[in-house]
Amino acid sequence: MKRCVTLFLTVILSLAAVPFASADGPDGPPSFPIFDDTPTDAWYYADLLYAYHSGLINGKSETRFAPDDPLTYAEAVKLAACMRQLYDGVSFTSRKDAGVWYEPYVNYCKAYGIIAADYPWNQSATRAGYMEIFAAALPDEDLAPINEIPDGAIPDLGGLSASTVSAICKLYRAGIVQGTGDDHACAPYSSIRRCEVTAILSRMMEPEKRIRFTMTAPEHRIETIGGVTYVDGILIANKTYSLPADYAPGGLTAECQAALDALSAGAAADGLSIYPISTYRSYDYQAGLYERYAARDGYAEADRYSARPGHSEHQTGLAVDVNSLDYDFAYTPEGIWLAAHCAEYGFILRYPEGKEAVTGYRYEPWHIRYLGTETAQKVKDSGLTLEEYLGITSVYAD
């Protein structure tokens, strides 16, 4: 398929170059710009020619490209749709009855699984946002890794969802993007200029233009954003690292909830029932719960099985207790299935047996923590607790 795309693009570019032959000859780009605001010596000009003549991108008007304008989400979804259709060797046909110009592209991308939800279409796309969309625009085999980018090597991805981090890493590893500076920072919350997008489009469609580079991950990277701690991009709440009292997602994150639904459906397909009995807890709720346990069993004993307020994983919206708070749950068909399969859905058993000195909590075969499928599988395969995997402690300061 890729050979067909390359040939298709070569024909398009050859035909599109004909009007410029007399001005520049056969050995280079035209000597006059295709837009009034894109000089021929601009660093991105060759990529602009490629993207423009292959039908991937156009100007804001016939004479203006606006190279420094930020890319919008509407433009990003259009580019994703056009890349996929160009890859498939077909032309995009826009419906005349569309309510807004980008509606057909949005519908196409949803139909092909490129996006799953709406974005604020008229707003500037963040780098993380457009990468989410572009990472799904082509089949996985056409975005195969060519670079060694270890998990945690990209320095500024803390606070992003596991799926967004995965999309960004996919484009880094495929040589589509390389970030900025010596540390290849992503700047995920910043916008991206239209001129930068032209280079990305070229690399998406032409593998020989992709960038080869390597990155090495620090031993572990700890970031604090808004009072929340991330280790290698993973949100941490344990006895060492706390959450602010006002950190309140209000429920399970959308990604965690979807993963939990999928896990329950997977268990049901095997004739089992796995269901949540405790999910999100606010700071105040955890404070009351902890004090009740301490009043009953004493603070030292309560600390073995209940988190102090601000230290509970349940406050993150990424932790779930399922089925039963009985240790015998581990030996039920549901408990055995959960231990064997939860990583497939992005969860780990957070507090394994015999690891209280490391995690800070007694064995809880019912408590699962969402990390995303890739990271969860790596943690499971390592045989380590999350603390051991990330090289952190779980000890109260007092």
Which of 75, 196, 364, 387 is flagged as catalytic?
364
Helix (H) or strand (E) holding 350: strand 347-351
Backbone angles phi, psi at 242, to 5 degrees: -110, 170
d(Cα 336, Cα 257) in Å, to the nearest integer? 21
Helix (H) or strand (E) holding 205: helix 194-205
- Coil/strand/helix, residue 157: coil
Asked whether 215 and 154 are in contact (CB, 8 A), the reply is yes
How many CB atoms lie under 10 A from the CB of residue 237?
Answer: 23
Half-sphere exposure at residue 73, Cβ-oriented, CA atoms within 13 angstroms: 17
d(Cα 362, Cα 365) in Å, to the nearest integer? 10
The two tokens of residue 267 are 């268990």
The yes-or-no answer on residue 103 being catalytic is: no
d(Cα 123, Cα 152) in Å, to the nearest integer? 29
Number of H helices, E strands in the chain: 15, 7
Tallying the residues shown for the chain, one arrives at 398
Residues in contact with 11: Cβ distance below 8 Å, sequence separation at least 6, in sequence order: none
Beta bridge pairs of residue 184: none
Q: Which of 242, 76, 230, 237 is nearest to 167 (CA)?
A: 76
Taking every pair of C-alpha atoms in the chain, what is the biggest distance, in angstroms? 90
Q: Which of 82, 64, 70 is nearest to 12 (CA)?
A: 82
Q: Which of 179, 177, 184 is nearest to 209 (CA)?
A: 177
Q: Helix 73-88 crosses helix 127-134 at what angle (to 10 degrees)?
A: 20
Expressed in angstroms, the distance from the first to the final Cα of the chain is 62
Q: What is the DSSP string of 55-91?
A: TS---SSSS---TTSBPBHHHHHHHHHHHHHHHHT--
Catalytic positions, written as ranges: 364
